[in-house]
Structure formats: C-alpha cells, structure tokens
Structure 1
C-alpha cells in the first residue's frame, strides 16, 4: 500500500533532492551570455557630505566597462526606493517619508550605503577598480543612539524629518487605561530592549539585470520573496520600465526571513545599468560583509511597559511606550512593523480590558530596520510575557496560575480585543496543560534542587503567545495604510494526460511549497502526488501574487489553491455528466473519481482531463481545456497560538546558560505536512533562542558596525539547542477554506520571552536580551559586589 500523500501526511520534501545534492538553481548559479560584474563602492562613514567623486583613475583600469554614481541615476529620472505602508500619526498626519536614493546623492546616511557602482568584465577587475574610486567626504556627526536621536542637539538626518521623527503614533483607550491604573491593586513595570538583529540567510542577496534591446524588455533575476511586488515597485514607483516590459525571476531562494521582501539598490542598479550598456547582463552577488551592512535589520525597540492588576491578579489595563528605530531610511514595511503588527497584538492570550500603546519611530545613522521573522509579533509577545511573569513574581501568584486567571475563555471566540484585532479561535488552557505535561512541570522543584547540589542555578520560563498571520482582508489593510492587496492567486492547469502544473503567486525561500502545495492539489483533486508540479517565482509564467511573508503561504496561498480546485471540480462534473450520460446534479466527486450517485458508473480525473483537451464528444456550452485560476482574499487574519516552556541551567561561576529542555505546543489549525511544520518551528526556535542568548547588532558612537562578521555577531549553533519537543493541536481555523492558521514564525515569536523568563527564574534578577555569559554573570554577582564594596 502506498504511503499517504494528501493533506496531513508527513511527505518528505521533494525539493531537498536538488538542494542537498548541489543541484539547486540559485541566482549565483546563473550566468548569462556576455555578462559583466558589478561591485558597489560603499560609504565608510555613517553620516557625511559627498564633496566630490573622482572616477578618472578607475575608469582606465583593465576590464572596466562603466562606473556610475547617484548623479547618473538621478539624471535618468530613476526614482528612489519606497515605503509601501502609510502610517497616520496621532495628529492625523502621514508619517515622514524622506527620499531613499538608489545610489547616494549629495550625502550618505549610514555605513555601507552605496555611492557608486563599478562594472567590469570580471569580478576581480571590478573589485580592483572599485578600490581606485576616490571619494572626498566631509564627515558629519552621527545619530546612532535611538534614545537620543529625538533630542534637539542630535544630528539631523533628513530635512523632510525634523527632529529625526518618522511618526508619533498611538492606539487604544488612553483615558480608560489611566482610570484602570488609578484603581489598580498592583502595577507591574518593566523596561525592555528588544535587541537589533541582522538576518543571515544561507544565500546572500544577488541580482542579475538583463536588457533585451530587441523586445525592449528588462529581466531581473533576484533573491526575492515576492517577485510580482518587486516588479510592481520597479515599474510603478521607481519607473524603470512599463510593467509589461519587466520580468522578475526568483529561482531557488536560500532563506529570507523577511530580508528578501524588499526592493534594494543593487537590483535597481543592475537592471538600469544593463540597459545603459546596450543589453550586457550585469551580475552582482553580495559578499557576507555586504549582507551584514545592507540587508534590512530587525527589531530594535526600547520599551517601558506597565500592567495594572486587581487584588486577585486579574489584568485591568496595559500601558506601553515604545521607541522604534527605522534606521537611516524606510523600507517597504518599516512603518507598519512597530505599529499595526506590534501594538495590535498587545492583548496576547489575555482578557485585558484596556490597552494603550504609544510608538515613537525615529531615524538614525544605521542600516534600515524592517520586518524580520515575526515582524512586530515577537516584540509584542516579549513585552506581554515578560510583564506577566514579573506580575506573578511580585504578587506571589504562581506563573501558570496568573495566566489561567486571565486567559480569554474558549467560549468567547471570536473575541474582539481592545486593539483592533478579532481573534478567530483558540483554546489556551489546553495548550498550556499539554506543555506542562510534556516538560513535567510538577517535577521541576526536584530538578532545581538536584541542580543546586551541582552548583547550578535552574530556571523555568513560559511564553504563551498569539500572533496574526496572513495579513487580511485587503480592504482592512488598505484602510490601515497598506499599499497593496493581500490576496493570493493560484492556477491549476491539467495536461491532456492528466498530470497537473500548479502555478502559484506565492513563493518559497525554503519552506517546502513544492511539496505541500502538491499535497493540497492531490488531496483536493485526487491526482497522484507524483504527477503534480509546482511553478513559482517567475512573473513571466505565474499569475500575479503577493509572495511569501507573514506566514501567509498556507492560509492565503493554500486558500487560493482551494478556490481554483473548486472551479476544476465544478467543470469536471459537467464533463463527467456528459461522458456518463447523466445529470450534472447526480455526479458525486471523491478522490478524483466522478460517479453517478447510486450506480457503479464512473470516470476518473485523468479521463476527464483527456476529454477536456480532445473534445470530440463534449457538453454544449463548455469550453475545452481544464485550466482554472482562483483568487483568495481572506476575511480576517488567522491567529496561531501556543505555549512554550524553556528550562535552563546557569553556571554562576561563568554566567553560561545551558538550555536543557524545551517544549512547544502550537495551534496551527490544519497541519498540511507535520514534518515540514516541525522544521518551521525548529528553525523559528533557533532564531528566537539566538536573539535571547547570543545575537545583537551593535554600532559604535560614530555609526560603525561593530558586529559586522561572524567573528563578532554570534549565531546559534547546534550545541546551543537541546532536543526540541514539539506538538500541535487540531483546531482548524473557522474562516479559512483549508482550516490553516500558519506556522512559519511562531518559534521566533514565542522563544525569546520563554528563554529570558527561564533565566530570570534561575538567577533571581531581571535581565534583558541578549543574555550573554558576561551579562548573566554580572547580574548574578552585582549584589555580591555591591555588598563587598560596602
């Protein structure tokens, strides 16, 4: 008997065969005939005026075909990079949106900003010539500290943003919150820093721009999470060419985590330069040092938060004030991450009647900050779950009990929060109960005592989270300032012999879409899994779609497949009825077989497909072919949730934290492939643990990136993680056609709070991320050192 391959089956990823055998097709694997190589000359200063650029010596060097600067691009009327989400501040004004030039023109505002591009026959020649470009800068004071950038004495980055302010925004009931705090029996407070992170996808960013003078078409091969949106930006906003003369191809993409959503300077430059050079393809592949400097960073919040409680530990109100770093310029989603993807999740899993959140976003002389795995939801979860444990400790209420007292009751769903969201479904006590059972929560005191005998400090920490996936619906996104819709598309095309190609507007950067989407089509239409191909990532062949981010591929991309499949089934019933000489209403469909109800007369989908393309005997009024397209615009976000528990041991002599046990119980709705879901959660946990223990992007006072390599920026390694125990519940989303909620970001959202709560539980004092050994050691011994000093 063949192993199951439909929805819910743990089918191995088919794409891994080419990935692990070196047969992947990444941008760097592509080489176009006659291609040239681009190297960018980047600013060594965080803030400076460009006084002059001398290209004379570089232009005469071997192999050099062209050198371009920001002035050349400006003269060609090429537009700058864009922010695609307008946030309206508390005064009703749109956010301040300074120009973001493709190549710096007149001034540089962060280290690594591209100032010129050298294009040569070989990469080595381009590098040599780039070193010969002479730029005279007048260095200016830099604004790096987010907490100081709003001060009147701080260096100003943009004339368009006085006081370095992007927006001052708020959400919630200020008066109601103030009243609740005045009546509270206890107020828990915390000051938090959500450390800046540098995304490190396995595949660095890359681009090849190619112009065909015969067709007047521009083709961009790029490492993108959303090729169609990239094409839209290049055409409608940057103005490189009409959209029908632009094609964007994103082949295999080796990780993105948000950093490959955006349109970057290098992509624009390679396309533009290819046309300037008469059609010579121009290729650029980032070195890892460039990725550290220029891939959009994540997080970087400074927050003060307070939770008001009554005498029984019931939450009355939450008050949050956050400073958010935008970096030197805005990227596509920069403005919405600290607002609608952050403040709107402040309710967490709890019945908090009143919430008020203020966010002040500012510009600094650092790289852009935008969406990174989780995008706003990890920051919100960190605020809420750190506060909950602090409140429990201060009020003497056991940490799981205070959560139970405040969980949103299961019977209250759908539940409208005080901060815009309406949660679709959930059963939070069940998640917590199972997590506690898996980790043997009751046995923790014994394990803690045993650790003490060995001279170790043992702690346990929780994180009960909820997130919003699959941004939706388009009308709501538009009302909140989003510049594009958030629907998705799918085209199911049968071949005459019954095999299928699925064309999806979603896109994979490692999640396993080629496997999961084939499972969905197989399950819905009864086509053998091995007879289904999945095509994505090429605007020349797939329908317009929004790409992949925000865990939208399952709930939104899968929804579009279901819509298209329903259209196929409806047409197939018409054809089957004609073939079987029956009424269409008498045709039943099950697993690809269409039969006349109450009889043994049937035809299968392969027979129907052949008839559709060889319509010798065909129903009147039905068009030949079996090729249907579906679009899905969700009614709401989906809301995955979960309970994560971390157990750690800390060595008080060294400050080293060891993660000794971990459980994660998630509600992802329908699980389409448990093996792939486990992989997604594992990866997210690794990133969350990395943020909690190891990772931090650091700039010095002059704006130089101190953590610009793997020698300085510490990524999680296999030895930092124990065996992770992961389970999911079966609670389908009530408004999604497949019942899917999304799983791609949960691990990164929940993990930082669980880790820090566990460390704080172990050492008995608050600490912030990253909890490096030095920081932990100082926290443990600060009291002892103070006593000794006295």
Structure 2
C-alpha cells in the first residue's frame, strides 16, 4: 500500500480514540439505551435445577397478572416450527465419526440441562411486571442426577444428558502422528510428565447482553438490536436455522458494544425469543440481562483437564510431545465450542518450539453446566499455559536454566516458513528477539538480588517466563470448511468516496472496545491521504453493510483491514484513470501519493478531492470508459492464520503469613506485526494482561455436586481490581506477517495468552524452597497459605540445595 500521510494521523501514530468522547461522556448508544415506540419487556424464567425432567408448566396465575401480554414455553416454540440454536462448527473425530450434536432448544423442552436453562418467557408492559409474573409460573420438575464435572459425566453408568450423545461424549478427536511420536519417546533420554486443569471462567463484559426484537407488519421485516460481535452471522444462524426467515426480511443491528471477549460472538436463544415474540405480538420486545443472570446464561470459557508428556534428548532438545485433553462443552454446543479445544488449541501444540513429533487427543464432554465457548484467546491460552508450564517442569527435571532450554528449542528466524507437525505453517517470527528484550526490560540478570532483599523482609519472591505463540485471523475459508466450519471466514469492506473527498467505510467486522473507528480511519488516512476528520467508519448493521464475519480472534485488522486496503486499491486505480483523462496523460504515468494524483516527473497534479468531484460531476469525464461515482467493495479471504508471539515475564512476592500474592513487576514484549496505533495496541495488551492475571490468581467458576453455581455473583467470583494489577512494561518487537497487505498479526488476545503461565511460573519459583513444583490456577491466597502450612508453616525455609 502507498504511504501518503505523515505519521501524525496515519499508520504508526498514537492517535487518541475518536469514539472515547461519546463513551466517556455517557453518550454511547448501547442496546439497553435503545427504546422502540410501544415496546414490551421480556423476562426469562430459568431452571433452578442442573438436570431435571419438566412435568407441567402452569402459567394461569402469571397470565392473569397486571400488564402481562404473553407467556411462551417450548410448546409454543415447537408449534411455530422454530428450530434449535445451531452450532457453527462440526468436528469429525477418530475413524471419521462425526460429533454428537444434540438439539439445543430455544426454550427447554422435556428436560432442563443446566442451572439457568431458559424454560419460559413472560412478555409484559414493564420489566417489573414481567419479572413478577415469571415468579408466579409453577413448573413441575423431577430432578435427575447432576453431571457438574467431566469426571461425573464420564463415570460408568452416568445419567445421559442427551439421549443422542452416548456416554455424554461429544467427540473423540486426534491430531498429529502417533507412530512418529511413539518412536520419539522410545528414543528419549528423559520423559517429563505434567497434568493440569485450565480453570473455567465467566467473561463478565462491562455491558451485559441485551436484545430488542421489532417487527414491521407492513413490510414483514424483522429487526433485532443486540449486543453482538457478529451481526451478520447472527442473522444467518437465526434466520436460516431458528426462525426460518429470509435474510432480506431480517435485519440485525449491533450498536455500541461494551466489551465481549468472545462472549458476544455467539447466537443466543434470547435473541431468537425476542425477535419471534415481537412478530407474534406486533410490538417491539426488549430483554436486558441482569448480572446474576449473565453468570448462568453467558457462555463460559476454558475448562480443560490435560495430561502431557514431553520427550527430551540428553542436551534438552524436545523430541516428542503427547497431549490428552478432556474439554468441557457444557450442556449444549455453543456456536464455535467444538473448534476451541481442537482447531484453535491442539493445532498450536508446537508453540514456538521445534518439537518434531506431536500427537494430541481431545475428548469433548457434555456436562450439566453452562455451555462453554471461545473466551479471549479461545484455545490458545489453554495450549500456551500447558506448554509453558511443561517447559518449566522440564527445565527443573533436566537441571537446565529456564531461559536456555527455551532458546535451545526455539524455531529460528531462518527456518520460516516453518511447517509444524500439527497442521499449521508459521510464516514469520523472531522469538529470541522478544525474549532478549523482555529479559533486558525485566532486569532478569539482577533478580536474585531482589529475591534476597524480599526474603530479608519476610517475603517470598519469584520470577516466571512465558514464551508463546498464537494464531489469529482464523483462515482461509477453504481450509476451515474442510475442518468443519459452517461459515466462510473472509471479510468485506465497502469504501464510498463522496463528491467532496470525504470517505465512508462500511466494514463487516465490528468493534467491542478495540478502537476500530480510529484505527480504520488511520488506514484510510494513510492510503488515500484524507484527514481523519473526513473519514467515517460504519459497522454493526446488516442493513447497511455487505455480508461480513464480525470481530473475534484478533481478525479485525488482519482480515477486515486487508479488505479495506483492497477496496482502496480499487479506488486509487479508478482515480488514476480519471486523473489521466483530466491531466491528458497515460494511466501508466499517473502516480498517487500524499493525496495527489500526479504525472510522474512533473508538477502537474490533481488533488484527491478534485478527482472525487469529477467522478460525481462528470462534465469532463471519459463516461464511455469509466462509470461515474467513486465507490468500491472488496472481499479478503486470508491465505493463512497470522502468528503473533512474544515473551512475558512476571515477578511476584508472596506473604507467607497470608498466602497473598502481589504481582510486583510485569514485562511483556510482543510481536504483533505492523503496529497501526501504538497507544491502542498497548491498551489492548494491558487489558489482556489484566484478564490473564485474573485467571492465574483469583478467577474461578465453581459448581457444587448438585450442579449449582456457587460462584454466581461478584460476591463469590473474584474479578481483578486495579489494586491487584501492576504497572506494566509493554513493548513490541516486529516481524511482519508475510501474507496480508498490512503486515499485521493481531494484538487483542496476546495479553491473556502469554500471561497466565508467566504468573504461575513465578508463583512456583517463589515457593521453590518449600519443594513446590506446581500450583493450579487460580493461585488464591487460601490455596497458597494451605500449601505453605502443609510444608511446615510460614517460617521461611533455607534455600533448597
């Protein structure tokens, strides 16, 4: 692409986010801020049982209550011929066996399968009336055995959550070469074993989910306003599979979205409920989730139990890796759930290392818990955590330095493109560079002095390293289609240049806090030479934008931005033809830079706005050769994933009297490809680091033996607070992506991917003199205090020999 503007506004400039003025001044337009004329309000009655048979549902008393306009149950949904909530990815397991894909009803039919499963919906004039009426509905339940854990679900003779999922297994899948891996282990000098649980998390975006269904009886058009990262996919899934409404009669609008971290990618039952109910009642229907309701209705994240073995030679080189994972799917398959532990996780088992033989197995299990799906990082944090803890364990058992064992096994820059044993081919990277820079900034060489000083104060100090790699911008469509994706993974951009030279960008991706209205405008400013003030970014409305695939997996810039570049290339190509006519020159002689079309080697030029005016006022225009107007659309389907990577180093202090862990220093050096806006990149990384530290130290989702969610509010689910988050040292070390026109890789998830193992490695290092070799996430004060006291109490032990 052309470099046409100074860095004050274009690529590389730390431009303040344009959207923040309205957000910080309370003028954002979130779904709950919207109110449609004559709207009704919905309240959803949810199951109090984890697993139970539904006998009868008595709605008579509720229907007679003030303001109630309708009550719907599964019987109404089934009578209307509505489909179930669809899954967007199909996994084929061992022996070609296709995954079990039980029906996911919009409202529970016959049985409830997790606490929070929607059973009935009340629609009333006010929200409080709907809520009061829902409490008056009498449901007869016959409790069935709860299956709150994968162990319970897989136990011999366990109750079946779904009759069409024998043994409560969704799929049993594998990747890699088992025979080659067995041979590597047979030749090994040392085999290191490790087992861990990647704890379940609740996303807890700042803005709870909300949805408004509207219906125009004159046109037959349905409109859904929803808190979504993915409006076009919601329209496709809901229209084609649930409501069975033609797409031209279904519009999905996602206004400002206050965070999502993946939890707003999926199609949820509530969206179909309000859209369908609005058509039945011929009035808009609004539903807004309460925070306590979100804990039992928003898709959760993580929840893997994994055993791994690493084979090494006598010099500490990795020879082979075996991994077996149990992945919790929850009660139903959410939109992308099957892809998370398989194609988004196990395909990265090589990490940034040259392990020549790898075999991974994943068994997905249904449990009577909230469905699980992609959460910031989606499979990559799970694999990174496993590898980086395993590498530390290997270093200890081999008697090697933690840094040197990593260096010895890194993929070198001269080995790219690098084909891994688990399908993926990496295009670029320099893992030594990010490690070297992180070590320098973290003052790694002087750490032992800080450890000794902390010990003198009665504190345990530890340092942990994580060198990671992840995959972003999931692609290409042909490949993922072969792997089970039920949608394409391209992106689209429509660039409309107005007569005076201002630009409207219509993009199929969306924003849920990443600052797209700023960075996308910077791309336009860079390539077309248009001031930021003259660039409008439009997203989130299927009625305005060509079909797009939304925002997730750090794809927005790598895929959506690349589509914009392609569309702007078309704009420039047409502009050169118009300029050639106006300047009486050949098209080949027209150059474009800094917002000027110029005859090469001369001072004869036309400004971008002059060309756009000529396109719309074609008084002097080759009309027989070029159509009027200046608007272009482009689709971009990536050739490969992008592969960000980097090094995170965490330094902690533990108070042995209380078990409290303080993160005292955190250094992150990440390779995210070309950086468009350094300030936004730093903010994205810091946000991810906060989430990663939260998972490592305090966040955890806990069910009891009856399937009741014990951590169902902020009173019991610990979210990281400002006091627990240190000042971060964040920097970048860049290698460019080789297969997209921007050279970008993605930054939205790296913080949450690289940080958890760095934190736990630091905690284990701090406890080394107690003989501790592993602490499961979250490393809560209670857990660490118990470990310390099981090893003899808070008195600091002498250093281990």
Q: TM-score range by the shorter chain?
A: over 0.9
Shift >3 Å, 4+ stretches = none
Q: Which of 170, 175, 197 in structure 2 is aligned with 1:193?
A: 197
Q: Which of 641, 647, 653 in structure 2 is aligned with 1:649?
A: 653
Q: Which of 450, 457, 460 in structure 2 is aligned with 1:457?
A: 460
Equivalent in the alignment of 1:319: 322
Task: Give the whole-Å Cα distance in 1 for the aligned partners of 2:75 and 2:156.
Answer: 32
Equivalent in the alignment of 2:783: 775
Equivalent in the alignment of 1:743: 747
Equivalent residue runs for 1:81-92 within 5 Å: 81-92=85-96
Q: Which of 611, 614, 619 in structure 1 is aligned with 2:614?
A: 611
Equivalent in the alignment of 1:215: 219
**C-alpha root-mean-square deviation of aligned residues, in Å?**
1.2
Q: Which of 532, 549, 560 in structure 2 is aligned with 1:557?
A: 560
Task: Give the whole-Å Cα distance in 2 for the aligned partners of 1:755 and 1:460.
Answer: 8
Q: Deviation digits for residues 106-162 of structure 1, max 9, x if unmatched?
A: 110000111000000011111111110111111111111212311222221001101
Q: Which of 176, 181, 197 in structure 1 is aligned with 2:180?
A: 176
Equivalent in the alignment of 1:362: 365
Is the contact between residue 240 and residue 272 of structure 1 (CA under 8 Å) also seen in structure 2? no
Equivalent in the alignment of 1:511: 514
Instruction: Measure how far apart 1:783 and its partner are.
Output: 2.5
Task: Give the whole-Å Cα distance in 2 for the aligned partners of 1:404 and 1:148.
Answer: 41
Task: Give the whole-Å Cα distance in 2 for the aligned partners of 1:713 and 1:390.
Answer: 30
Q: Which of 10, 32, 47 in structure 2 is aligned with 1:6?
A: 10
Task: Give the whole-Å Cα distance in 2 for the aligned partners of 1:742 and 1:294.
Answer: 29
Task: Give the whole-Å Cα distance in 2 for the aligned partners of 1:437 and 1:664.
Answer: 11
Q: Which of 702, 727, 739 in structure 1 is aligned with 2:731?
A: 727
Instruction: Measure how far apart 1:237 and its partner are.
Output: 1.3
Q: Secondary structure at the match of 1:625?
A: coil
Equivalent in the alignment of 1:422: 425
Instruction: Measure how far apart 1:178 and its partner are.
Output: 1.4
Equivalent in the alignment of 2:298: 295
Equivalent residue runs for 1:374-523 within 5 Å: 374-523=377-526
Q: Which runs of 5+ in 1 are unaligned?
A: none
Task: Give the whole-Å Cα distance in 1 for the aligned partners of 2:721 and 2:179.
Answer: 47
Instruction: Measure how far apart 1:30 and its partner are.
Output: 0.4
Q: Deviation digits for residues 520-562 of structure 1, max 9, x if unmatched?
A: 0110111111100000000000111000000000100010000
Equivalent residue runs for 1:6-405 within 5 Å: 6-277=10-281, 279-405=282-408
Q: Secondary structure at the match of 2:404?
A: helix
More moved, 777-786 vs 575-584: 777-786
Q: Which of 679, 682, 690 in structure 2 is aligned with 1:678?
A: 682
Task: Give the whole-Å Cα distance in 1 for the aligned partners of 2:742 and 2:790.
Answer: 54
More moved, 725-734 vs 775-784: 775-784
Q: Which runs of 5+ in 2 are unaligned?
A: 796-801
Q: Secondary structure at the match of 1:179?
A: helix
Instruction: Measure how far apart 1:728 and its partner are.
Output: 0.6
Instruction: Measure how far apart 1:188 and its partner are.
Output: 1.3
Equivalent in the alignment of 2:798: none
- Asked if residue 589 in structure 1 is aligned to residue 592 in structure 2, the reply is yes
Task: Give the whole-Å Cα distance in 1 for the aligned partners of 2:588 and 2:326.
Answer: 61
More moved, 218-227 vs 774-783: 774-783
Instruction: Measure how far apart 1:732 and its partner are.
Output: 1.3
Task: Give the whole-Å Cα distance in 2 for the aligned partners of 1:73 and 1:767.
Answer: 47
Is the contact between residue 147 and residue 323 of structure 1 (CA under 8 Å) also seen in structure 2? no
Paired residues, number? 786
Task: Give the whole-Å Cα distance in 1 for the aligned partners of 2:454 and 2:218.
Answer: 73
Task: Give the whole-Å Cα distance in 1 for the aligned partners of 2:794 and 2:222.
Answer: 66
Instruction: Measure how far apart 1:2 and its partner are.
Output: 8.7
Q: Secondary structure at the match of 1:767?
A: coil
Is the contact between residue 243 and residue 272 of structure 2 (CA under 8 Å) also seen in structure 1? no
Task: Give the whole-Å Cα distance in 2 for the aligned partners of 1:455 and 1:695.
Answer: 27
- Asked if residue 537 in structure 1 is aligned to residue 540 in structure 2, the reply is yes
Q: Secondary structure at the match of 1:615?
A: coil
Task: Give the whole-Å Cα distance in 2 for the aligned partners of 1:358 and 1:777.
Answer: 35
Q: Secondary structure at the match of 1:389?
A: helix
Task: Give the whole-Å Cα distance in 2 for the aligned partners of 1:3 and 1:447.
Answer: 41
Q: Secondary structure at the match of 2:233?
A: helix
Task: Give the whole-Å Cα distance in 2 for the aligned partners of 1:533 and 1:783.
Answer: 62
Instruction: Measure how far apart 1:781 and its partner are.
Output: 2.4
Q: TM-score, normalised by structure 2?
A: 0.97
Task: Give the whole-Å Cα distance in 1 for the aligned partners of 2:305 and 2:522.
Answer: 43
Task: Give the whole-Å Cα distance in 2 for the aligned partners of 1:4 and 1:755.
Answer: 37
Q: Secondary structure at the match of 2:151?
A: coil
Q: Secondary structure at the match of 1:148?
A: helix
Instruction: Measure how far apart 1:785 and its partner are.
Output: 7.1
Q: Deviation digits for residues 618-638 of structure 1, max 9, x if unmatched?
A: 023100000001111111100
Q: Secondary structure at the match of 1:757?
A: helix
Q: Deviation digits for residues 619-666 of structure 1, max 9, x if unmatched?
A: 231000000011111111000000000000111111110000010001
Instruction: Measure how far apart 1:210 and its partner are.
Output: 0.4
Q: Secondary structure at the match of 1:726?
A: strand
Instruction: Measure how far apart 1:3 and its partner are.
Output: 7.1
Is the contact between residue 7 and residue 520 of structure 1 (CA under 8 Å) also seen in structure 2? yes
Q: TM-score, normalised by structure 1?
A: 0.99
Task: Give the whole-Å Cα distance in 1 for the aligned partners of 2:213 and 2:243.
Answer: 15
Instruction: Measure how far apart 1:779 and its partner are.
Output: 1.7
